[in-house]
């Protein structure tokens, strides 16, 4: 800075320091944005993984009678809920551990054999009678065909709803984070979706699922409050 007056040199130094400070602020802001974006992507991935894991449960006959809750944070999976026996627990854990994106599994499953009351038996008897009548009918439809595999219970309904959400994931339900709870065939939907259309789709899918008696919609559209 030869040839510059003292005042000019001081001005030049202040300008350089100001430029440096601005650069540092820009870098810090960029880092914060990147961190926020990474966190958002992690949340989206976690929601996708919950849906994916439940869709993998649907065809597992060993899980009949189970009602499993899946929670995912940063790829770490926690399994809660009930299974009928140790074999079902082992199978649920194995399915989860073998899924892409799973970093670890915490097993909090409880073994609670399904207990069936008189109402269940009465419903089964009525259902069996209806099924026999349907077998005698000549004009059977595809929807009347006998279902094989897992029984249509709360756990199956939950996994079935998630499996149908998975089919819509790359379309209307992407970026969703939906929690499905089923109690005595009544469904409650919590969590977030990206649009009103996605909310309507999620509710419609749940309502049309076999065995569902009703749906309570507590879903929120991202960025809005109820």
pLDDT in tens, 152-193: 899 999 999 999 999 888 788 888 899 999 999 999 999 999
- Cα 130 to Cα 93, 107, 116, 144: the distances in Å are 37, 40, 20, 11
pLDDT digits (tens, 9 = 90+) for 114-125: 655 434 444 444
Distance, in Å, from the CA atom of 180 to the CA atom of 12, rounded to the nearest integer, reads 63
What is the torsional sign of CA 56, 184, 151, 135?
negative
Give the rounded percent of residues in the chain with a pLDDT score beyond 90. Answer: 52
Domains for the chain: give ranges and CATH numbers: 46-115+150-221 (3.40.1520.20)
Please, what is the angle between helix 154-167 and helix 196-207, to 10°?
140
8 Å CB contact between 46 and 75: yes
Average pLDDT for 86-109? 96
Element (H, E) at 14: helix 6-57
pLDDT digits (tens, 9 = 90+) for 43-68: 447 889 999 999 999 989 999 999 99
**Mean pLDDT of the chain, nearest integer:** 76
Alpha helices by DSSP H, 115-153 = 118-136
Distance, in Å, from the CA atom of 216 to the CA atom of 169, rounded to the nearest integer, reads 21
The pTM for the full model equals 0.65
């Amino acid at each position: 800075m030869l040839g510059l007056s003292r005042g000019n040199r001081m001005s030049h130094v202040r300008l350089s320091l100001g430029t440096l400070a601005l650069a540092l602020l820009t870098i810090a802001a960029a880092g914060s944005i990147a961190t926020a974006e990474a966190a958002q992507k992690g949340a989206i991935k976690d929601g996708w993984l919950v849906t994916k894991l439940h869709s993998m449960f649907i065809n597992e006959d060993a899980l009949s009678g189970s009602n499993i809750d899946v929670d995912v944070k940063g790829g770490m999976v926690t399994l809660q809920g009930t299974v009928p026996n140790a074999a079902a627990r082992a199978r649920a854990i194995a399915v989860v551990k073998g899924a892409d994106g799973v970093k670890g599994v915490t097993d909090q499953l409880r073994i609670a054999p399904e207990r069936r009351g008189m109402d269940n038996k009465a419903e089964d008897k009525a259902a069996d009678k209806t099924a026999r009548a349907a077998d005698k009918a000549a004009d059977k439809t595809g929807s009347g065909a006998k279902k094989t595999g897992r029984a249509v219970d709360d756990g199956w309904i939950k996994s079935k709803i998630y499996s149908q959400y998975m089919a819509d994931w790359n379309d209307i339900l992407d970026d969703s984070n939906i929690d499905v709870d089923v109690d005595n065939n009544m469904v409650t939907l919590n969590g977030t979706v990206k649009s009103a259309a996605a909310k309507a789709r999620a509710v419609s899918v749940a309502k049309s699922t076999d065995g569902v008696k009703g749906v309570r919609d507590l879903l929120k559209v991202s960025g809005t409050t109820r």
